[in-house]
Amino acid sequence: MVIDKRFFCLFLILILIGSLGWAESLEERARQHYKVGNIYYEHGLCQEAEREFRKALELLEKKEKLPRGIKEEEIVKEQEGPQYVVGIGDILSISVWENPDLTQDVIVRPDGKISFPLIDEVQAAGLTISELDRRITNKLKEYIRFPDVSISLKKMGGRKVIILGQVRSPGVYSLSGSCTLLEAIALAGGFTNDAVTSSVIVIKGGLANPKAERINLARAIRKPQSKQNIVLESEDIIFVPKKFIANLNYFLKQILDPISRGIYTATEFKNW
């Protein structure tokens, strides 16, 4: 009897994903994600493999930081830092692995809900992307065995900017009227002591058409009327590094994925 390799691959993945729910420790869960990633990689599914390897790495990092006397399940549920909170007008890209009919962009309606096939309406506004992911995954379990849901932010609703890196309160900020780069930094609590103000990165075009440019804010601090103190636009992303960033294209590739997933404390940020 000839066994289709792709079918066998999917069969193994389903078994391993199913076992994730029974894994008791962070280390066991990380090991399962690593095994799934290896199967994906061996069958040429590089993006899926990368996603599983990333999950394994994040779980192992949580285990290393686990304080004595604290249960692992408490750490898993705890948010490590600021995450993007879905708002009205946001456009989200949602996909379910091996279910192309369920891959679509959805907009958060004025009532805070989104419409999605099979599960009808889901409350989205007020949730982080990871919380919404879990909610949709749980609802889809009634129709799909082991649904693998991926959600990313495609466009922010309203007039918002994202400020990350070496500022005291990184996160998403709403703009009211005209706002300069220095004013936005002030909203985020100002610079930390490690900030390299001469190499602030501003990403224009949002997540859909990102283009990075380097701004010398050290000059603008001395002369607030400097051209370096630009006026921000909706969906601008500001990143204050702790070291000079030479290759802006490589920098973009590294940080755009965690930003689109709404995770602002991701491993990718620590290198910058």
Per mean pLDDT, which range of 70-74, 146-150, 168-172 is the poorest? 70-74
Position 71 scores a pLDDT of 47
Which stretches of the chain are assigned E, i.e. beta strand? 91-96, 104-107, 113-116, 120-123, 149-155, 160-165, 171-174, 200-204, 211-215, 237-240
Q: Report the pLDDT value the prediction gives residue 237, as an integer from 0 to 100.
A: 95
d(CA 145, CA 49): 20
Distance (Å, whole) CA 245 – CA 257 = 18
Distance from C-alpha of 92 to C-alpha of 107, rounded to nearest angstrom:
6
Output the CA angle 101-43-52, nearest 5 degrees.
Answer: 70
Judge whether 211 and 187 are in contact, CB under 8 Å.
no
DSSP 239-264: EE-SS----HHHHHHHHHHHHHTTBS
The per-residue pLDDT for 3 is: 42
**Mean pLDDT, rounded, of the chain:** 80
Average pLDDT over residues 209-221: 89
Q: Which sign does the torsion angle of CA 94, 155, 252, 29 carry?
A: negative
Is 90 exceeded by the pLDDT of residue 235? yes
Q: Of residues 137 and 16, which shows the higher confidence score? A: 137
**CATH class of residue range 160-270:** alpha beta
Question: For residue 272, what pLDDT band results from cuts at 50, 70 and 90?
Answer: confident
pLDDT of 135 strictly over 60: yes
pLDDT of residue 8: 46
DSSP code of residue 52: H
Alpha-carbon gap, residue 164 to 57, rounded angstroms: 22
Highest averaged pLDDT of the listed ranges 143-147, 193-197, 219-223: 193-197
- Has residue 137 got a pLDDT over 60? yes
Structure confidence at residue 81 (pLDDT): 57
Note the pLDDT of residue 45.
Answer: 78
What CA–CA distance (Å, rounded) separates 39 from 45? 9
Provide the residue ranges of all domains of the chain, joining segments of one domain with +.
5-77, 91-155, 160-270
Q: What is the pLDDT of residue 47?
A: 79
pLDDT at 268: 63
pLDDT value at position 44?
77
Superfamily of domain 91-155: wza like domain (3.30.1950.10)
Q: Which residues of 195-229 are buried (b: 16+ CB within 10 A; e: fewer)?
A: bbbebbbbbeebbeeeebebbebeebbeeeebebb
pLDDT band at 136 (very low <50, low <70, confident <90, very high): very high
pLDDT digits (tens, 9 = 90+) for 20-77: 443 345 666 777 777 777 777 777 777 777 888 887 777 777 666 555 544 444 444 4
